[in-house]
Structure 1
Amino acid sequence: MQNENTLFDKMTNWLKNSVMLKLLTITILMLLLLIPTAMIQDVIRERQALQTEAINEVSAKWANSQQVNGPVLVIPLLYEFKEDDKLVETTVYHYVLPKDLNIKGVLNPQKLRRGIYEVVVYDSKIDVKGSFGFDLNIDENHLKEIQYNKAFLTIGFSDLRGIGNNIKFKWGDKILKVESGSKIPELINSGITMYPQNLDTSNTINFNFSVDLQGSQDLTFIPLGSTTEVSLKSEWSSPSFTGNFLPKERELNENGFNAKWNVLELNRNYPQSWSNRNMLSKMEASSFGVNLLNEVDDYKKSERSAKYAVMTIALTFLVFFLVEVINKKKIHPFQYILVGLALSLFYILLVSISEHSNFDLAYIISTFSIVGMISFYALYIIKAPKMVTILVITLIAIYGFVYVTLQLADYSLLIGSIGLALILALTMYFTRKIDWYNIQSSKEE
């Protein structure tokens, strides 16, 4: 009986003091804490989806992203050929693009609110001018008539609700009547149409028009001219230049931006005139413009910071474990769980606070809240101010490291690898004198 008690006591003592068992327990707890961390990431994605829904709802009432496409001159061609001993007539559209296209625009952005969410929209004043030449390159095989009297011009706008003025389209020395709708949906889905009378193809014809255009976030253009020049300026300080071409010139500062594009016919993959071919995909592929980014996308930063949760929990648990080993102070698994949950709470605090303030302030408040909570708890568990001070410094260093990594996204891999190397080096330094084989015996003594 005495031997059984002795064996039971030894087993119990081993379970309490086994370093490997404690490491295994901590690892399991850390893996279990990934569950609430994953749930928090789902919450962040859900809030991000609500933000996207708010953007779409406001854009639907204001005007969606705008793309300006045109003008395109369309000349109907009447072909006649025999089929089964019968004469058959068919009409083919011949598309002609401008020889020169010059666009100047001024964007006036503003922020609209939908609940707690901000949506970037804009008013713009766009002046367009250019000219048409008539090197038509028409297939004359079976051609019966070029129907100049039925020619028309079409200009594409993605969302017609954004047009804020009655457009006056000047064609040569005439003002053409503007009608709503596109007659070439295979090329331009929505837009306006004009009908030039007595089209004279012997000379170059100049054109110009101005449009007040509302939109949300994006404004893009299709480079239809043999030479296309686009100039945009705005007071928005954080634009993203998008599409197939970047500006040849740009000025960007806290007062706004000024950007200029210059695109040649040789820079894109479609000609200046054609018939019987669908060039829509090629035209859309050549688009370019600007996206008025919101200065702070808090949800993306919060989601990126949540990806470091595993590292934060692992390093904090490592510090507590080393305190156990060095200070010979036992910490119960339940206490590890509470600390891990506090670390997970950081990300919920970050998201909820950043929705009502800026991300930097939210990060500072969340960091000091969690560090303070864990530090006061550790002070009563460990009862060693020196060790708690090390813990506080470690936690602040971890959150500081994550913050710097978030700000320098282009260098995140470099910073991360250097940071992990330093963490491993410090762990090796502080544990260099520990005799891991004799930890249990030293505790029993």
Structure 2
Amino acid sequence: MPLLRTADGSRTPGQKLAITILIGLLLAIPLFATWALVYDRQSESRTATRSIVEGWGDPQVIGTPVIAVPYSEVLEEQVVENGVARTASRRVAKTLTLSPEVQDVSITLSPEVKKRSIYEAVVYGAAVEGSLRFALPSDIARYGVPLEALDWDRAELRFMIADPKGLGDNPDVSVGGDRLRLNPGYGSRGGEGFFGFLDAGMLAAGETMEVAFAYEIRGNESIALRPDAGTTSLTLTSPWPHPSFTGDFLPAAREITDEGFTASYRIGNLALGKSLVETGGANARAAELAQMRLANNGLAGVSLFRPVDLYSRVDRATKYGFLHIGFTFLALLLFDVIGGRRVSAVAYLLVGAALVLFFVLLLAFAEVTGFTAAYVVASIAIAGLVTLYVKAVMRGWRPALTIGAMLAALYAALYILLGLENLSLLIGSLMLFAALAGVMYATRHLDWAHAQEG
């Protein structure tokens, strides 16, 4: 096909390319503004989600129940008074913390999606049941604890809960078959959870102590257990079909179907790198476990993953905005410099604005209808608008339908790319290679420095 003269009779194809690139760069401003809009709406969504779950319960972390036995120790230290050195004694309050030899825990999650306006959040109620077996290690003397100093009748059975306001009815805890009266806090010195006083003298006599417990707790998004026991068996069950297992330990066995999931763990304390016996100041253990809400070390749990996060998908789609603008502008430029169709700078600008508007429409509709429906509506609207406008500008259906078909292919390819997260870079690179090869072939005889005459 013979090359025709440039549309305005004076600008060369190279100059037209430079103008097209300049307009494309200018469109980066509204495109970046769209990215900022997505981020702002995502932040607003998170704020709304927090308000939905407020008062229900935070993401929960459950600690392994422990027995805390107070004792005192006499410390001798050298002091100097009036230039005279002497030995002074003082009594220090300490706590022996004993983790169970064996714990068996079962957590059944009942998820629920709560909505407010266009926002929604996943919350759950969890039924926690378990059994524990405590025993005093035979080598307890190696820890430097004087057994005669242990105040066994003032022992406490402590349960740590990251957000106690999520507790339902009063927990049911029994020791040796006898129900234990419970108090708020992680021990008598405060903290997050609940505890009960008990006489642990049977441990001093070399016997084992059997504990059974059951309680209900509410939370949102995730739940995890810190398995600080000699051997921990944990079973997680829920009708939620999209679990994301979190923490340092993954389940030894799992079954995930459309009706829900079941996961089982078996964890030993050697994997945790922690002893079953700890000694220290009276508040040492409570202070450590109070930080569990902020730390994810040594946890085994699950997050109720939502597979469709519309804001992340819109954000990823927006990052491909330059490709949409680039492909469309290249097509218009080829019609201009090769096909002899007149395309003004204003036409480039308006078409580019329509392409940027696609992402705004996608975000706006996605918050109401969901991502897929919004994508279909926005792509049809913008592809139709650009097709009709190009038909009017170029005074013909052939270039208009070509541009419209190209946009339809681009939107279809983008939708596929968003679903193939791991292969999106590879497929996108191949698309760019194919497009570049096509442009190079179509313009292989074009003199970019001079206006051509047909």
Does the pair score TM above 0.5? yes
TM superposition shift of 1:144? 6.4
Q: What amino acid does structure 2 have at the position aligned with 1:413?
A: L
TM superposition shift of 1:438? 7.5
TM superposition shift of 1:431? 2.9
Of stretches 192-201 and 319-328 in structure 1, the one that deviates more from structure 2 is 192-201
Determine which of 365, 368, 381 is the counterpart of 1:353: 365
- Please say if 1:48 is aligned against 2:42: yes
Q: Structure 1 stretches of 5 or more lacking a match? A: 1-11
CA contact (8 A) 1:182 1:192 kept: yes
Q: Quote the Cα distance in structure 2 between the aligned partners of 1:99 and 1:315.
A: 65
Q: Structure 2 stretches of 5 or more lacking a match? A: 1-6, 80-86
Look up the match of 1:250.
254
Q: What amino acid does structure 2 have at the position aligned with 1:124?
A: A
TM superposition shift of 1:82? 2.2
Q: Which has the higher contact order (CA 8 A, sep 6+)?
A: 2
Determine which of 120, 123, 132 is the counterpart of 2:122: 120
Q: What amino acid does structure 2 have at the position aligned with 1:126?
A: V
Q: Quote the Cα distance in structure 2 between the aligned partners of 1:204 and 1:100.
A: 11
TM superposition shift of 1:284? 4.3
Change (3 A) 1:308 1:58: same
Cα offsets for 1:169-202 (capped at 9, x unmatched): 11123211110111388xx941001111243111
CA contact (8 A) 1:156 1:190 kept: yes
Q: Quote the Cα distance in structure 1 between the aligned partners of 2:158 and 2:332.
A: 71
Residues 64-83 of structure 1: matches in 2 within 5 Å?
Answer: 64-83=58-77
Determine which of 154, 159, 163 is the counterpart of 2:167: 163
3-state SS in 2 of match to 1:441: coil
Determine which of 181, 194, 202 is the counterpart of 1:177: 181
How many aligned positions are there? 428
Determine which of 26, 30, 33 is the counterpart of 1:32: 26
TM-score by length of 2: 0.89
Q: What amino acid does structure 1 have at the position aligned with 2:196?
A: M
Q: Quote the Cα distance in structure 2 between the aligned partners of 1:191 and 1:346.
A: 50
Change (3 A) 1:133 1:402: same
TM superposition shift of 1:61? 1.8
Cα offsets for 1:125-184 (capped at 9, x unmatched): 111112112116353377861221221111111111211111121112321111011138
Determine which of 371, 375, 390 is the counterpart of 1:378: 390
Q: Quote the Cα distance in structure 1 between the aligned partners of 2:147 and 2:412.
A: 74
Q: Quote the Cα distance in structure 1 between the aligned partners of 2:371 and 2:93.
A: 60
CA contact (8 A) 1:160 1:191 kept: yes
Cα offsets for 1:291-340 (capped at 9, x unmatched): 11234210110011111111111111111101112211121111101000
Q: Quote the Cα distance in structure 1 between the aligned partners of 2:419 and 2:133.
A: 47
Q: Quote the Cα distance in structure 2 between the aligned partners of 1:142 and 1:239.
A: 47
Determine which of 226, 230, 233 is the counterpart of 2:230: 226
Look up the match of 1:395.
407
Look up the match of 1:57.
51
TM superposition shift of 1:397? 1.7
Look up the match of 1:319.
331
Structure with the larger helix share: 1
TM-score by length of 1: 0.91
Of stretches 245-254 and 84-93 in structure 1, the one that deviates more from structure 2 is 84-93
Of stretches 113-122 and 276-285 in structure 1, the one that deviates more from structure 2 is 276-285
TM superposition shift of 1:107? 1.0
Q: Quote the Cα distance in structure 1 between the aligned partners of 2:28 and 2:319.
A: 10
Look up the match of 1:200.
202
Change (3 A) 1:437 1:18: closer
3-state SS in 1 of match to 2:368: coil
Look up the match of 2:82.
none
Cα offsets for 1:59-110 (capped at 9, x unmatched): 2221111111120111223111323433211111122111111111211111
Change (3 A) 1:437 1:155: closer
- Please say if 1:108 is aligned against 2:114: no
- Please say if 1:405 is aligned against 2:408: no
CA contact (8 A) 2:249 2:299 kept: yes
